[in-house]
């Protein structure tokens, strides 16, 4: 057995340590994937900072983060039938058991035995990663989809797809407001635009708003300069958005999103909160009641929705690879996480050199 390289969190908020770790062996029913590309997600930043204790999500250390992976299967454990050595695969970040009631109902993103890759088990900031329940969790990458594109699907893009298509039920001709255009938000902009909606992108960073326009946003609102964001959205949309998505998870964006809606509008909450709010944000309940607004959560993307998502990518209607602004080496991953302290990253950053 040889050692392999991995970048690990050894202390909350401390620099990642690139170290040698034991070469992983597949568990029964699982596989080992040689990682070809892995995204650096803001969720990784939350884990690195020790967030989400109120969700039971504070990670045990040391931990190899990374949950947006694409790679090649190099070993399979006993009991694996549908996945073979040599297959190129990606995986949903919410690894599922495949047998609980939610998994059987096509809602694997709500699995009762869920393990989040890079949080509850070591993830993809490494040369190799173990994937459990491989026949259920491994999604084959079509021949025409590159590892870079597949890694971009792994969390933020597929999460945005479920938010727009599944929970938001966005339809052609509707107005969609997206609050916070980081990785998830930009993905929402692209997907909603491709669905035939008119998108209003909201952020405090003009550079990110410019990226949103490149991804199809019809209008942008600079929340740093605008005193009343909901009023600005209502003016642009002629009465409010049909669907408004909060992709960030801070008090201001959550409330602005709800207040940006027209009557009978749909608010989709994607962003999880940070330590300042710890999961508790007050909503304008009277507005929700009188306007018959709908408030829904959106977590990840059901395994069953991957074929439709991949078909849209294969056809060229969706292009997650265009969101990748930078590729880095494993040794640079810690610097990218640190830059997220000040929201100083744009689009998606992907590790493609290990």
Query: For residue range 214-225, what is the model confidence (pLDDT) as tens digits?
Result: 999 999 999 998
Only one residue has tokens 């929201």, namely: 343
Give pLDDT, residue 87. 97
Which CA distances in Å does 155 have to 124, 227, 252, 265, 348?
A: 12, 32, 24, 26, 11
Q: Measuring CA to CA, which residue among 139, 120, 136, 132 is closest to residue 29? A: 132
Q: Hey, CA dihedral for 142, 148, 154, 158, is it positive or negative? A: negative
Residue 278 has pLDDT above 90, yes or no: no
How far apart are alpha carbons 16 and 12 in whole angstroms? Answer: 9
The fraction of the chain above a pLDDT of 90, given in percent, is 88
- In this structure, how many other beta carbons lie within 10 angstroms of the beta carbon of residue 341? 11
Contacts of 193 (CB under 8 A, 6+ apart): 199, 215, 216, 217, 218
Q: Hey, CA dihedral for 317, 41, 54, 286, is it positive or negative? A: negative
How far apart are alpha carbons 121 and 130 in whole angstroms? Answer: 9
Cα–Cα–Cα angle for 217, 147, 332, rounded to 5 degrees: 85
Q: Supply the mean pLDDT for the chain.
A: 95
Residue 49 has pLDDT above 60, yes or no: yes
Contacts of 163 (CB under 8 A, 6+ apart): 184, 188, 245, 247, 268, 270, 298
Residue 191 has pLDDT above 90, yes or no: yes
The DSSP secondary structure of 104-151, one letter per residue, reads HTT-GGG-TT-EEBTTTB--SSBSEEEESSHHHH-EEPPTTS-HHHHH
Backbone angles phi, psi at 351, to 5 degrees: -80, 125
Query: What domains are there in the chain, each with its CATH number?
Result: 3-155+301-353 (3.90.180.10), 169-297 (3.40.50.720)
Whole-model pTM? 0.94
Angle between the 183-194 and 206-214 helix axes, to the nearest 10 degrees? 30
Per-residue pLDDT, averaged over 1-16, amounts to: 90
Query: For residue range 295-352, what is the model confidence (pLDDT) as tens digits?
Result: 999 999 999 999 999 999 999 999 999 999 899 999 999 999 999 988 888 888 999 9
Give pLDDT, residue 346. 82
Instruction: With cut-offs at 50, 70 and 90, classify the pLDDT of residue 1.
Output: low
How far apart are alpha carbons 321 and 150 in whole angstroms? Answer: 8
Give pLDDT, residue 2. 66
Per-residue pLDDT, averaged over 178-196, amounts to: 97
């Amino acid at each position: 057995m040889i050692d392999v390289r991995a970048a690990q969190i050894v202390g909350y908020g401390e620099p990642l340590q690139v170290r040698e770790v034991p070469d992983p062996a597949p568990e029964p029913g699982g596989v080992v994937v040689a990682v070809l590309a892995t995204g650096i997600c803001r969720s990784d930043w939350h884990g690195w900072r020790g967030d989400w204790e109120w969700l039971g999500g504070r990670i045990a250390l040391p931990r190899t983060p990374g949950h947006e992976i694409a790679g090649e299967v190099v070993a399979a454990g006993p009991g694996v039938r549908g996945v073979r050595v040599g297959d190129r695969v990606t995986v949903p970040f919410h690894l599922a058991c495949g047998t609980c009631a939610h998994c059987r109902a096509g809602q694997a993103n709500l699995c009762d035995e869920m393990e989040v890759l890079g949080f509850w088990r070591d993830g993809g900031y490494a040369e190799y990663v173990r994937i459990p329940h491989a026949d259920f969790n491994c999604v084959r990458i079509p021949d025409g989809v590159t590892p870079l594109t597949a890694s971009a699907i792994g969390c933020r893009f597929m999460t945005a797809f479920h938010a727009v298509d599944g929970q938001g039920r966005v339809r052609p001709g509707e107005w969609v407001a997206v609050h916070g255009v980081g990785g998830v938000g930009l993905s929402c902009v692209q997907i909603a635009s491709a669905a035939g909606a008119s998108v209003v992108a909201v952020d405090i960073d003009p550079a990110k708003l410019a990226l949103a326009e490149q991804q199809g946003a019809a209008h942008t609102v600079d929340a740093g300069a605008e005193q009343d964001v909901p009023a600005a959205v209502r003016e642009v949309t002629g009465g409010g958005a049909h669907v408004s998505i909060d992709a960030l998870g801070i008090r201001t964006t959550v409330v602005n999103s709800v207040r940006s809606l027209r009557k009978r509008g749909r608010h989709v909450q994607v962003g999880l909160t940070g330590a300042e709010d710890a999961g508790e944000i007050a909503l304008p309940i009277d507005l929700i009641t009188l306007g018959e607004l709908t408030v829904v959560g959106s977590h990840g993307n059901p395994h069953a929705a991957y074929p439709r998502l991949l078909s849209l990518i294969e056809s060229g209607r969706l292009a997650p690879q265009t969101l990748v602004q930078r590729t880095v080496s494993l040794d640079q991953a810690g610097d990218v996480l640190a830059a997220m302290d000040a929201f100083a990253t744009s689009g998606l950053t992907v590790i493609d050199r290990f």
